């Protein structure tokens, strides 16, 4: 049995690699005069300590032992891919239509229509949020700022084998912050595919938002075409690239309507090795072009199939639209890509681990075709 001594470092310490059954206690050294012994009872123990002066959170967690055996979320049974690779983001708790989330040092409360349970609120951090987004009866909603914090603030996601990705965050309309953290499961999968290809892979990222998937692909060595209708979003994505030290990578930044761009690329004979898309339920192109997922998604995937190179390794579709299940997207990918090229399609829910509950919150759905 071993005793672990750790020294205070702001924000988070995680020890996913350790063989948890060998740990009997953790000694946290806060300062020269203050230490705390944290009894270690189970592999899922989490500790929160807030430093009074600086208001920094320290999270000590030992979530799962790496490789086999210690799987916490029974991925196979539920077919949910869990984004559990974050240090700077954490879904602390969820209850009564709301999520309590930590984004770096900032704690936010945001509505989530999936959270239809009213389980007891399991952490005191509910009462210490920096801001809360509330829906309005008239539609839309607004942020209520409770504690001061600087915007934009920054969080990072540690990619295996390359530098961390850094994202600027802001409290925006529609409860957005600038990152969909559950997408980390897709960033990891895409990076794996790009690295395995062992050549410069060309990626087309559509409805690309603030560029997280673009950056993940570029960090893994891909040349990326990033398309989003909103100029402001493209600018934000470029800033995220600069923050992440990826400003000089081969990324083509385009403010364009995705459907129109695909038609132009088909006429020009453009080819891509990997196509990814995360279309909204409803959106508008820069010229006011209406995007309605139910009617547009299949024609867009069909058109995109014509842009895939001969030895394309992957095609990924993600959606947050209720009613568009993983299997429905999988069906379309099989029909438009798998039927001609073979390979296989994985369709999964994607979700986030909920610290307080030790379970996972479904957030969206993804279908991935791979050769």
Point out which residues bind ligand SAM (CB under 6 A): 180, 183, 207-210, 212-213, 228-230, 233, 257-258, 278, 280, 283-285, 289, 291
Q: How far is the CB of 364 from ligand SAM (least distance, A)?
A: 9
Nearer to ligand SAM, 283 or 338 (CB): 283
Distance, in Å, from the CA atom of 346 to the CA atom of 71, rounded to the nearest integer, reads 20
Nearer to ligand SAM, 63 or 283 (CB): 283
Cα angle for residues 355, 361, 362 (degrees, 5° grid):
155
Q: How far is the CB of 274 from ligand SAM (least distance, A)?
A: 14
The residue ranges of DSSP E strands in 62-164, in sequence order, are 80-82, 89-95, 98-103, 106-111, 131-135, 141-145, 153-157
Place of tokens 């504690």: 147
Nearer to ligand SAM, 293 or 347 (CB): 293
Q: How far is the CB of 216 from ligand SAM (least distance, A)?
A: 10
Q: How far is the CB of 63 from ligand SAM (least distance, A)?
A: 23
Nearer to ligand SAM, 283 or 351 (CB): 283
Place of tokens 């592999």: 43
Q: How far is the CB of 126 from ligand SAM (least distance, A)?
A: 26
Nearer to ligand SAM, 26 or 316 (CB): 316
Mind giving me the DSSP string for 211-235?
SHHHHHHHHTT-EEEEEES-HHHHH
| Closest CB to ligand SAM: residue number | 283
Nearer to ligand SAM, 64 or 365 (CB): 365
Rounded alpha-carbon distances, angstroms, from residue 210 to 114, 278, 290: 24, 12, 20
Dihedral of the CA atoms 66, 362, 157, 174 (nearest 10)?
A: -170
Residue 183: burial class (beta carbons within 10 Å; 0-12, 13-18, 19+) = buried
Q: How far is the CB of 296 from ligand SAM (least distance, A)?
A: 8
């Amino acid at each position: 049995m071993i005793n672990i001594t750790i020294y205070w470092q702001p924000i988070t310490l995680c020890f996913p690699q350790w063989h948890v059954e060998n740990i009997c206690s953790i000694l946290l050294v806060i300062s020269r005069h203050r230490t705390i012994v944290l009894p270690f009872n189970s592999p899922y123990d989490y500790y929160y300590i807030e430093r009074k002066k600086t208001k920094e959170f320290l999270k000590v967690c030992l979530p799962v032992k790496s490789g086999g055996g210690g799987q916490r979320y029974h991925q196979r049974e539920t077919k949910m891919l869990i984004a559990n690779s974050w240090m700077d983001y954490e879904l602390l708790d969820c209850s009564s239509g709301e999520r309590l989330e930590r984004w770096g040092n900032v704690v936010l409360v945001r509505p989530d229509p999936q959270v239809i349970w009213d389980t007891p609120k399991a952490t005191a951090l509910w009462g210490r949020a920096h801001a809360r987004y509330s829906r309005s009866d008239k539609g839309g909603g607004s942020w209520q700022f409770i504690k001061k914090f600087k915007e934009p603030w920054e969080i990072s996601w540690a990619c295996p084998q390359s530098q961390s990705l850094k994202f600027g965050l802001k409290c925006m309309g529609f409860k957005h912050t600038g990152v969909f953290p559950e997408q980390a499961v897709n960033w990891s999968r895409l990076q794996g595919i790009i690295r395995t290809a062992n050549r410069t892979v060309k990626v087309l990222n559509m409805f690309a938002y603030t560029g997280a998937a673009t950056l993940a692909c570029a960090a893994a060595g891909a040349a990326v075409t990033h398309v989003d209708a909103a100029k402001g979003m493209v600018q934000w994505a470029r800033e995220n690239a600069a923050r992440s030290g990826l400003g000089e990578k081969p990324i083509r930044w385009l403010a364009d309507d995705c459907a129109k761009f695909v038609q132009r690329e088909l006429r020009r004979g453009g080819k891509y090795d990997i196509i990814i898309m995360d279309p909204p339920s409803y959106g508008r192109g820069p010229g006011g072009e209406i995007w309605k997922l139910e009617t547009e998604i299949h024609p867009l995937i069909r058109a995109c199939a014509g842009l895939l190179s001969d030895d394309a390794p992957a095609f990924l579709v993600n959606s947050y639209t209720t009613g568009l299940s993983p299997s429905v997207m999988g069906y379309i990918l099989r029909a438009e890509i798998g039927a001609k090229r073979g390979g296989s399609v994985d369709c999964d829910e994607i979700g986030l681990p909920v610290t307080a509950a030790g379970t996972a919150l479904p957030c969206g759905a993804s279908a991935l075709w791979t050769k």
